[in-house]
Amino acid sequence: MVGSVEGKITTRTFVTEIDTTNRDSFATVGAIIDYVTLMTAGLTGAMHFVGEATVNIPNTPANRIDPHINGYVFSNAQPGDVILANNAQEFVWTGERWRLLGDEGSYAIKGSITNADIATEANID
């Protein structure tokens, strides 16, 4: 039973499965957890930042280095874990190894590019 602004008592049904068309029922905690898990299932491989490595991560095909990040358990690494390493590089865990995504040398900062940086034939003026 639920009270309303007008003081009327109304009954609502508790449900164990979420039905998005029934806006008058109350879902149990289990129903909410199941629904959120189902709706976010496709995100399990999404990239997510885990921290900054305190050891050097080499850019080699077989690197399986523990990045030594406080609170990060490398034995539980998931594909999509992203770390900062070597002061300027970003790596993603593929499930097998750390793969270099990029480094500061691969970015252009607004205002840092001059005409001398652009090929004459680029014709972008």
**Structure-token match 């009270």, residue found:** 3
Within this chain, do residues 38 and 51 fall inside the same structural domain, yes or no? no
Within this chain, do residues 23 and 37 fall inside the same structural domain, yes or no? yes
Asked whether residue 12 is assigned to any structural domain, the reply reads yes
Q: Which residue segment(s) compose the domain that 68 sits in? A: 45-106
pLDDT in tens, 54-75: 999 998 888 899 999 999 999 9
Asked whether residue 114 is assigned to any structural domain, the reply reads no
Handedness of CA 84, 88, 94, 96 (dihedral sign): negative
**Which secondary-structure segment (H or E) carries 50?**
strand 48-52
Within this chain, do residues 52 and 83 fall inside the same structural domain, yes or no? yes
Within this chain, do residues 85 and 53 fall inside the same structural domain, yes or no? yes
Compute CA 84 distance to the chain's CA centroid, rounded to the nearest angstrom. Answer: 14
Q: How many domains does the chain have?
A: 2
pLDDT in tens, 3-27: 677 777 877 777 888 888 877 778 8
Can you say whether residue 122 is alpha, beta or left, with left for phi > 0 and alpha for psi between -120 and 50 degrees?
alpha
